[in-house]
Amino acid sequence: MQMNFKRAFKLAFVAMAVCTAFSFAEDIVATTSNGSTVILHDNGRWEYYQNNANIRDVRESAVPKDARFEVSVLYESPDKVKKNVRMALEADFATEEEIRDSLRKVPKGGYVYFQVPTKQIKPGLVRELTYSIYDTGKNAIFTKTVRDSEATASEDAGISNLLVVPIYGRPKAKVMKARVEDRKNHATLDIDIPIR
């Protein structure tokens, strides 16, 4: 009798594991708040549902290595910018008046840098991405579309700045939002920018 109980327990455990595996391995079709139909993939990716047999496979294994793209955001506070400007000008033996004049030009909100590893930028594979920054509310305080071929080298080795955005007003939120959109391929990346 005890042997049957162990066997039944093992069968129940295996059946539960199989059901769990199948429940996580399926894609889900959902409707967004704006009425668009999307496919939610089990690996966290999503795409618009096109209602035909030619739906793209967006699983990570299906994306060619050359097409993968990683964008990061770096925030530099106005205090840090002012400190760096002062140090650079003092090293050049600038007068106090020249230093104060330069410090007045530092944006009150600092700078936001959209960056990528330089090795990701391929001359034959140009991407056009739209960059937006949100402070509070639904309206962006900054939006610009730029090609990654316009990137410039940063001070850090192996990192390129896709876009450098001065924030002229003091941020109202403790965490601003950055959005990177590939509008051609319907891909969006949202990034939090903590304000120090």
The full set of domains in the chain, from first to last, is 2-62 (no CATH), 66-194 (2.60.40)
The pLDDT of residue 77 is above 80: yes
Edge-to-edge strands of the sheet including 159-166? 72-76, 111-117, 159-166, 152-153
Residue 17 has pLDDT above 60, yes or no: no
Strand partners, 49: none
pLDDT in tens, 137-187: 889 999 999 998 889 988 888 999 999 999 998 899 899 999 998 888 777
What is this structure's pTM? 0.62
Distance from C-alpha of 142 to C-alpha of 138, rounded to nearest angstrom: 12
pLDDT, mean of residues 97-125: 89
In this prediction, residue 68 has a pLDDT band, given cuts at 50, 70 and 90, of low
Please provide the DSSP assignment of 10-59 as one string.
Answer: HHHHHHHHHHHHHHHSS-EEEE-TTS-EEEE-TTS-EEE--SSTT----S
pLDDT above 70 for 61:
no
